[in-house]
Amino acid sequence: MMPYSHSTSMTNQFKLSASGLLFIAVHFVCLSVIWLGITWQAAALCAGMFLVRKFGITGGYHRYFSHRSYKTSRFFQFVLAFIGGASAQKGALWWAAHHRHHHKHSDTEEDLHSAKLEGFYWSHVGWVLSNEYDEYESKAVQDLTKYPELVFIDKYHWIPPVTVAVGCYLVGGWIGLVWGFFVSTVILYHTTFAINSLCHMFGNRRYETGEHSKNSLWLAFLTLGEGWHNNHHHYPISCRQGFFWYEVDITYYVLKTLSFFHIVWDLKAPPARLLKREAMIAGQAEAAQAEAATASEPEPALASR
């Protein structure tokens, strides 16, 4: 449906799509908290809507639809698509298609949002605001397009967030709408996008992955476990991104709990060989060499991208 090529000249970096304008508008609505204030009920609604919808992104859009790291029923598959869609990050098919492409071309000129090549702004929000990626390559998600209900909710991806917004208003009025939907949505946006940007710029590398993914403890807390990004790029189909017990991965804990009730099953784990100290030491040495080699390379000219 679309060619995966882009131009990040200064002009194109600041082109806005219609959805990009809505994205900006959501941020401006949040300023109304100055007049509305906050109540404990509004704060609780904000936290609840963040956590539920964050799992829709991490456990649904990312680990299920993008990487198929576990199995579930057709019904719960749709539930995940709806909850993830409620985050106002478009549909599951759009999200998964672009994410799969990112993994295939991470930190190369074909990458949609390389922080290494394009910088923080483009990797964090620039590519989202741009009108270059409103469509997606359907062949990249042909395992998902066979489900008409997923195609429907992807096409009409405004239904889940509008449903949540209306629900927040019915529960808490205007203050419930602003805190429960708008503020929590902005937090969802930037914690999700920080993985694309900050986790390819700052943190620690355990494995050499051929690109610049990093592990980040503080982002792991903010994103329910997504901050173990170098782990993830080393073995993307693992349902568990925190490879060790001390690497907090709340998304995995939730999925593991759901597996006890047979709501999800066949959770894929990293192979034992990846967890051996020798493999990690080798990975760290290779990563250091790769980082040093890359640092000595001249930055490609902007016009060539």
Contact 157, 91 (CB under 8 A): yes
The pLDDT tens digits of the residues spanning 87-97 come to: 999 999 999 99
Dihedral angle of Cα 299, 302, 304, 305, to the nearest 10 degrees: 100
Let me know if residue 1 belongs to a domain: no
Q: What is the pLDDT of residues 108-153, one digit of tens each?
A: 888 888 888 888 998 899 888 888 888 888 899 999 999 999 999 9
Neighbours of 282 (CB within 10 A): 13
- Please check whether residue 27 lies inside any domain of the structure: yes
Number of domains making up the chain = 1
**289 lies in some domain:** yes
What span, in angstroms and rounded, lies between the C-alpha atoms of 258 and 260?
5
Tell me the C-alpha distance between 154 and 152, whole Å: 5
Helix, strand, coil percentages in the chain from 3-state DSSP, rounded to 5:
65, 0, 35
- pLDDT for 8 beyond 70: no
Please give the Cα distance from 56 to 85 (Å, whole number).
8
pTM summary value: 0.87
Position 3 scores a pLDDT of: 47
Range of the domain at 125: 12-295
**Within-domain flag for 231:** yes
224 has a pLDDT exceeding 50: yes
Of 81, 78, 59, whose CA–CA distance to 70 is shortest? Answer: 59
- Residue 248 in any domain: the answer is yes
pLDDT recorded at residue 19: 76
71 bridge partner residues: 265
Q: Which of 227, 165, 177, 154 is nearest to 197 (CA)?
A: 227
Is 5 among the domain residues?
Answer: no
In a domain, 278, yes or no: yes
Smallest CA-to-CA distance from 57 within 193, 149, 153 is with 193
Domain assignment present for 4? no
